[in-house]
Structure 1
Amino acid sequence: MSNEPLAYRMRPQTIDEIAGQQHVIGKDTALYKMIKNGHVPSMLLYGDPGVGKTSLAFAIAGTTKLPFVALNATKAGKKDVEDVVADARISGKVILFLDEIHRFNKLQQDTLLPHVENGSIILIGATTENPFHDVNPAIRSRCGEIKQLKRLTTEDVDSLLERALLDKEKGLGKMAIAITDEQRKKIADAANGDARKALTLLESTIFASFEEDGVTKVEDSILNSLVDRVGVFGDKKGSHFYNLLSALQKSVRGSDTDAALYYLAHLLENGDLVAVSRRLLVMSYEDIGLANPSVGPQVLSAIQSAERLGLPEARIPLANAVVLMCLSEKSNSAYSALDSAIASIHAGKTGEIPKHLKDTHYAGAAELGHGGYIYPHDHKIGTFGGWVNQTYLPDNLVGTKFYEPIEAGEEKRLAAIYNRLEKFKKEK
């Protein structure tokens, strides 16, 4: 049997062997029909690790039989790019698969771009990052197709595992293997949509199992121990990581406790406690805000406890914080008001600070006309404390409203005070 890993051996040779990704390369798609007709456009493929970006590029090359060169942008130099250009001059057309294309530097681009533009080099770039954020516009503009590959379904992965077990040429078909449908399905579930991870886990399981009378029998205990070691899906600090943070916040904002805990679990399994804690603290003020002002300090306390405890115990206070925020009343009125004020300033809506608000703690302030400020604490108003009706905004902005209270939770009481004060102002 070949010493090459099973995941490498099972790489599809043509686009008809691609697992899943029917929205990109299904038989009814324009891309499938173009490739079958011998036309390959330059393209960007993006998606999470293990979804098949590299496999699709190799399958396209295998289908068209065009010359094919694979480079990694983190390692390729100007000389590598020049060699591809030279090959293109000789053969007339070359498919260049460039992994981690978001790492491509300007010098490499300058060497390659004219040849991509004239069609002698067909560029297939792959990245785990969002190409609209992380790929240079010069590259994007020359790629006719930008396709997002999705994680494979459990059914897609299970089908791929079954094929690997039966394939006598590239897979494990020459071995007598006793593995149940349930065990195969467990591997497919554990891979979480990552074909490479699934095939690697299958191969590790087979070679960790005992052979008896020429049959390799997969034991549940072996499989379970290997499944427990499988890392969670997604790269720390990659696009998927930030998508998880976004999904966590949106689930909390939407008061979906189960979804929020799911995304929290995913993030904590990635191990970045600092980034998760920072996002939770922001959420406590951004999404809960004045509706429940006590949540901010409670979340901060949970974060400090988590940092002191470290993982895995840190998950306990953070779980409390997430559930608390999910089920709390919510308001974004305070920071929305501040953003409105910032937007107003950027729009040039500024004015002179009223003279009675200017600093008077120096000799000569009176000569400049500064002064006349009325001290609110000297004017009691019921149980509210001190308040006096005087102008605070610049004259040209008087009457501008940035804050719009939301009558939710504690802010309902604050809204009543705000509205009462607004009424007092009108009685001036």
Structure 2
Amino acid sequence: MQNEPLAFRMRPRNLNEVVGQQHIIGETTALYKMIENGHVPSMLLYGEPGIGKTSIAFAIAGSSKLPFYSLNATHAGKKDVEQIVGEARLAGKVILFLDEIHRFNKLQQDTLLPHVENGSIILIGATTENPFHDVNPAIRSRCGEILQLKRLTLDDLVKLLANALKNEDRGLGKHPIEISEEQLKKIALSANGDARKALTLLESIYFASDEVDGVTIVKDHIIEHLAQRIGVYGDKAGTHFYNLLSALQKSVRGSDTNAALYYLAHLLETGDLIAVCRRLLVMAYEDIGLANPEVGAHVFAATESAKRLGLPEARIPLATAVVEMCLSEKSNSAYSALDAAIKAINEGKTGDIPLHLRDGHYAGAKALGHVGYKYPHDTPIGTFGGWVDQQYLPDNLIGQEFYKPVISGEEKKLAAIYDRLKSFKKDI
């Protein structure tokens, strides 16, 4: 067993050994009480790597005493599934832990699902991807619980590390180690909520440290060297990456500069510069919009500069763009107005284009009645430019308003012009 990684050896053997995730598996939860009373439901465990999905599955198996089998959907075949179905027939009921369940193919499902439905196989699926996006509905419908795990807290990780240092059978308890509470906190902080990373880092630190008179002495510089980038997690095509993009946009929209820079930093550490630039450009028009039209040009310049510079220098113009967007006035009126127009069209609110607006640049247009258009530039109105009162919307949409100005920043001026032009229409 000592040849196995520390993170593997320290997996909880029952529910009472689980560290963290108390909102899911704590003693007061319904799931804990069900399992203690001998009932294990099929479930999906959803969350980032290293935060306890596999550990919870093993702990449930240990507490329930039912036969337990583990498969990874990335390489499990139909024969693997059939073998577990056969075991279920013999045992009456088994637990199957299926990691990366979102990769389960239809053939495997067809073999397994009837047995999950009749209860002979209790399915515990684990996924890092949003189960509502990436797990087949047939699987979801047979799992009564869809449980979203959280990253472990600093206190959770310190407790986990302390347990590993004390445990003589499975941890490092047989090896005298000199390590301070502050150093444990540094390791926990570097792991960024990931139990596997925390234990892996602790094990690496142990083997990288010098022994003096039979005691392993942990030095700060060893922790700092091994902890580099250990907290970074993000699959460019995965749910967490899109959650980071979403959090970045919502932080900018909410004018929280510090949160926005935090999510930008995390996104840039994943290395997908193009996706970040695309999202920032969208945000400039979606969330800042007419309140500060110059921001669109500024963000475009920043993202183009970032793409030309590449990482790590790209972070400099992007940081400038994010701070400017956070602190800018905001408006979503323009794209909201367009969405309202699209909605109206999709609801069948359409009509004929007025004849005077139709193309009149060909012989015969006059015979079709495409006449009467008034050229606005021929009628100046103050310092605004040309304007003339004439119908533009189809007859059945006259009076329909899609645009609703937001009184913010530069749009205050545009809103005043919009209202003034409406008043002219009434007067003429």
Post-superposition shift, 1:47? 0.8
Match of 1:371 in 2: 371
Task: Give 3-state SS (helix, strand or coil) of 2:124's partner.
Answer: strand
Match of 1:182 in 2: 182
Matched letter for residue 147 of structure 1: L
Give the whole-Å Cα distance in 1 for the aligned partners of 2:77 and 2:379. Answer: 74
Match of 1:173 in 2: 173
| Residues 66-118 of structure 1: per-residue CA shift (max 9 Å, x gap) | 11111111111222111111111111111111111111122211111111110
Q: Does 1:9 align with 2:3?
A: no
Matched letter for residue 217 of structure 2: K
Match of 2:30 in 1: 30
Give the whole-Å Cα distance in 2 for the aligned partners of 1:147 and 1:405. Answer: 42
Give the whole-Å Cα distance in 1 for the aligned partners of 2:378 and 2:339. Answer: 32
Give the whole-Å Cα distance in 2 for the aligned partners of 1:312 and 1:156. Answer: 33
Post-superposition shift, 1:35? 0.8
Post-superposition shift, 1:373? 1.0
Match of 1:416 in 2: 416
Q: Answer yes or no: is the 8 Å Cα contact 1:49–1:234 preserved in 2.
A: no
Q: Answer yes or no: is the 8 Å Cα contact 2:190–2:231 preserved in 1.
A: no
Post-superposition shift, 1:275? 1.1
Match of 1:198 in 2: 198
Give the whole-Å Cα distance in 2 for the aligned partners of 1:287 and 1:152. Answer: 33
Residues 237-316 of structure 1 mapped to structure 2, 5 A cutoff = 237-316=237-316
More divergent stretch after superposition (214-223 vs 390-399): 214-223
Give the whole-Å Cα distance in 1 for the aligned partners of 2:327 and 2:16. Answer: 48
Q: Answer yes or no: is the 8 Å Cα contact 1:69–1:84 preserved in 2.
A: yes
Match of 2:387 in 1: 387
Q: Answer yes or no: is the 8 Å Cα contact 1:66–1:93 preserved in 2.
A: yes
Give the whole-Å Cα distance in 2 for the aligned partners of 1:19 and 1:255. Answer: 35
More divergent stretch after superposition (251-260 vs 395-404): 251-260
| Residues 318-377 of structure 1: per-residue CA shift (max 9 Å, x gap) | 110011001101000000000000000010100001111111222222222112211111
Q: Answer yes or no: is the 8 Å Cα contact 1:337–1:402 preserved in 2.
A: yes
Q: Answer yes or no: is the 8 Å Cα contact 2:290–2:333 preserved in 1.
A: yes
Q: Answer yes or no: is the 8 Å Cα contact 1:232–1:266 preserved in 2.
A: yes
TM-score, normalised by the number of residues in structure 1: 0.98
Match of 2:138 in 1: 138
Matched letter for residue 68 of structure 1: F
More divergent stretch after superposition (40-49 vs 81-90): 81-90
Task: Give 3-state SS (helix, strand or coil) of 2:244's partner.
Answer: helix
Task: Give 3-state SS (helix, strand or coil) of 1:71's partner.
Answer: strand
Post-superposition shift, 1:236? 2.8
| Residues 270-306 of structure 1: per-residue CA shift (max 9 Å, x gap) | 1111111111100000000000000001001011111
Give the whole-Å Cα distance in 2 for the aligned partners of 1:232 and 1:349. Answer: 50
Give the whole-Å Cα distance in 1 for the aligned partners of 2:423 and 2:111. Answer: 69
Post-superposition shift, 1:173? 0.6
Match of 2:77 in 1: 77
Give the whole-Å Cα distance in 2 for the aligned partners of 1:361 and 1:71. Answer: 70
Match of 2:354 in 1: 354
Match of 2:50 in 1: 50
Matched letter for residue 303 of structure 1: T
Give the whole-Å Cα distance in 2 for the aligned partners of 1:257 and 1:386. Answer: 42
Residues 207-218 of structure 1 mapped to structure 2, 5 A cutoff = 207-218=207-218
Task: Give 3-state SS (helix, strand or coil) of 1:416's partner.
Answer: helix
Task: Give 3-state SS (helix, strand or coil) of 1:263's partner.
Answer: helix
Post-superposition shift, 1:235? 2.9
| Residues 362-417 of structure 1: per-residue CA shift (max 9 Å, x gap) | 22222221122111111111111111111010000010000011111111111111
Task: Give 3-state SS (helix, strand or coil) of 1:122's partner.
Answer: strand
Task: Give 3-state SS (helix, strand or coil) of 1:69's partner.
Answer: strand
Q: Does 1:337 align with 2:337?
A: yes
Give the whole-Å Cα distance in 2 for the aligned partners of 1:235 and 1:65. Answer: 35
Task: Give 3-state SS (helix, strand or coil) of 2:171's partner.
Answer: coil
Match of 2:90 in 1: 90
Give the whole-Å Cα distance in 2 for the aligned partners of 1:52 and 1:192. Answer: 13
| Structure 1 alignment gaps of length 5 or more | none
Alpha-carbon distance change, 261 to 229 in structure 1, aligned in 2, over 3 angstroms: closer
Post-superposition shift, 1:231? 4.5
- Cα RMSD for the two superposed structures: 1.0
Matched letter for residue 67 of structure 1: P
Match of 2:153 in 1: 153
Match of 2:118 in 1: 118
Match of 1:235 in 2: 235
Give the whole-Å Cα distance in 2 for the aligned partners of 1:211 and 1:17. Answer: 31
Match of 2:317 in 1: 317
Q: Answer yes or no: is the 8 Å Cα contact 1:252–1:325 preserved in 2.
A: yes
Task: Give 3-state SS (helix, strand or coil) of 1:48's partner.
Answer: coil
Task: Give 3-state SS (helix, strand or coil) of 2:349's partner.
Answer: coil
| Residues 110-138 of structure 1: per-residue CA shift (max 9 Å, x gap) | 11111111001100011111112221111
Match of 2:67 in 1: 67
Match of 2:103 in 1: 103
Give the whole-Å Cα distance in 2 for the aligned partners of 1:236 and 1:180. Answer: 37
More divergent stretch after superposition (114-123 vs 268-277): 268-277
Give the whole-Å Cα distance in 1 for the aligned partners of 2:233 and 2:347. Answer: 44
Matched letter for residue 384 of structure 1: F
Give the whole-Å Cα distance in 1 for the aligned partners of 2:179 and 2:396. Answer: 78
Task: Give 3-state SS (helix, strand or coil) of 1:304's partner.
Answer: helix
Matched letter for residue 14 of structure 1: N
Post-superposition shift, 1:15? 0.9
| Residues 203-233 of structure 1: per-residue CA shift (max 9 Å, x gap) | 0011011112111111111111011242413
Q: Answer yes or no: is the 8 Å Cα contact 2:12–2:55 preserved in 1.
A: yes
Give the whole-Å Cα distance in 2 for the aligned partners of 1:33 and 1:254. Answer: 40
| Number of aligned positions between the proteins | 428
